[in-house]
């Protein structure tokens, strides 16, 4: 399934589901604007399953690869 880990760089996506178990992590993601339906772009993926850099609402965030693959996407149009 398409997620933040497998998605392509610099393409517009929309978040469909977030399966992160860690309560604090999801709390912080929400506070930073990552919710269902948020538009997101993957800017960079680090080597060796390292963190990736995302762009949401004009801000850049970095999360770990293992969290990224728990956030599922669909292609966004426009």
Partner 1 sequence: MVNNYCILGNPNVGKTSLFNALTGTYEYVGNWSGVTVEKKVGRLKEQAGDLVDLPGIYELSPISKDETVVTDYLLNSEYSGMINIIDASQLKRNLQLTVQLMELGAPILIGLNMIDVAAKRGIHIDQDALLKKLKLPLLPIIARNGKGTHKLLEALKDQDLSNNRPLRINYGENVEATITQIVTLLKQYSDFEPRQFRFIAIQYLLDNPKVIELLNDDLISRLTPLHKQLTASLTTTIREHIQTKRNGYIEDLLQDTVVYPNEERQYFSSRLDKLLTHKILGIPIFLGIMWLIFQITFTWVGTPISDQIDEFIGGTLTYSVKSAMEAIGLFPFLQDLITDGIIAGVGAVIVFVPQILVLFFFISLLEDSGYMARIAVLMDRIMEVFGLSGKSFIPMIIGFGCNVPSIMAARSIESEKERLTTIIIAPFMSCSARLPVYALFVGVFFAHNQALVVLSLYVLGIIVALATSVVLTKTVLKNDDSVFIVELPTYRLPSIKTLWRSTWEKGKGFVKKAGTFIFGGSVVIWLLNYTGPSGFNVDVNDSFLHVIGSFFAILVAPLGFGTWQAGATLIPGFLAKEVIVSSMAIIYASDESGLVNIIQNQFTPLSAYAFMIFILLYIPCLSTVATIRKETYSMKWTLLAVAYPLVAAYVLSFIFYQVGHLFI
Residues that bind partner 1 (CB under 8 A): 22, 24-33, 35, 43-51, 53, 57-64, 67
Nearer to partner 1, 34 or 73 (CB): 34
Contact between 3 and 66 under an 8 Å Cβ cutoff? The reply is no
Q: How far is the CB of 54 from partner 1 (least distance, A)?
A: 9
Q: What are the residues whose beta carbons fall under 8 Å from the beta carbon of 65, sequence distance 6 or more?
A: 5, 45, 46, 49, 50, 51, 52
Nearer to partner 1, 25 or 69 (CB): 25
Nearer to partner 1, 14 or 45 (CB): 45
Q: How far is the CB of 38 from partner 1 (least distance, A)?
A: 10
In which residue are the tokens 């604090």 written?
24
- Name residue 55's beta-bridge partners: 41, 60
Q: How far is the CB of 2 from partner 1 (least distance, A)?
A: 21
Contact between 68 and 3 under an 8 Å Cβ cutoff? The reply is yes
């Amino acid at each position: 399934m398409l997620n933040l880990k497998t998605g392509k760089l610099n393409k517009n996506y929309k978040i469909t589901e977030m399966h992160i178990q860690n309560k604090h992590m999801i709390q912080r993601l929400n506070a930073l604007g990552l919710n269902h339906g948020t538009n997101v772009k993957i800017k960079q993926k680090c080597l060796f399953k390292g963190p990736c850099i995302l762009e949401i609402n004009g801000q850049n965030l970095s999360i770990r690869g293992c969290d990224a693959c728990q956030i599922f996407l669909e292609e966004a149009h426009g």
